[in-house]
Amino acid sequence: MKDDFVELVGQVEVRLPSLTYLKPGLIRKIRRLGVADALYTIIELSVTQDILSVLDEMDHDEYHRLLASWQRHSGVSLGES
C-alpha cells in the first residue's frame, strides 16, 4: 500500500511511510542496515521528537503490535523487529 500508515497512540497521531514506497533518499540511508536498525531509522527520520517520546513510552507489546500493523499495512514482512 502506498498510503502512509496512521495510528493513534493515546491522543497522538503516529504517521509512518509505507515500507514499500520509501523515498530514494531514505532507502539510501538504510540500505546497509539490518531490519531492526532500518525500522528504527525510518521511524526516527519520519516523526517529530514529540512523537518519538510517545513511542518510547509505549508498552512493549503494544509497540510491537504497532510495528507489525505498520508492516502489514505496507504489505511486507520483515521478520522480528
pTM as predicted: 0.85
The x, y and z cell numbers of residue 38, run together, are 532500518
CB atoms within 10 A of CB 14: 21
Q: How confident is the model over 50-81, as pLDDT tens digits?
A: 999 999 999 999 999 999 999 999 988 765 44
Separation CA 15–CA 7 (nearest Å): 7
Domain segments of the chain as ranges:
5-74
Strands, E assignment, 1-81: 5-9, 12-16
Q: How confident is the model over 19-56, as pLDDT tens digits?
A: 999 999 999 999 999 989 999 999 999 999 999 999 99
Separation CA 11–CA 28 (nearest Å): 33
Q: Helix or strand or coil: residue 62?
A: helix
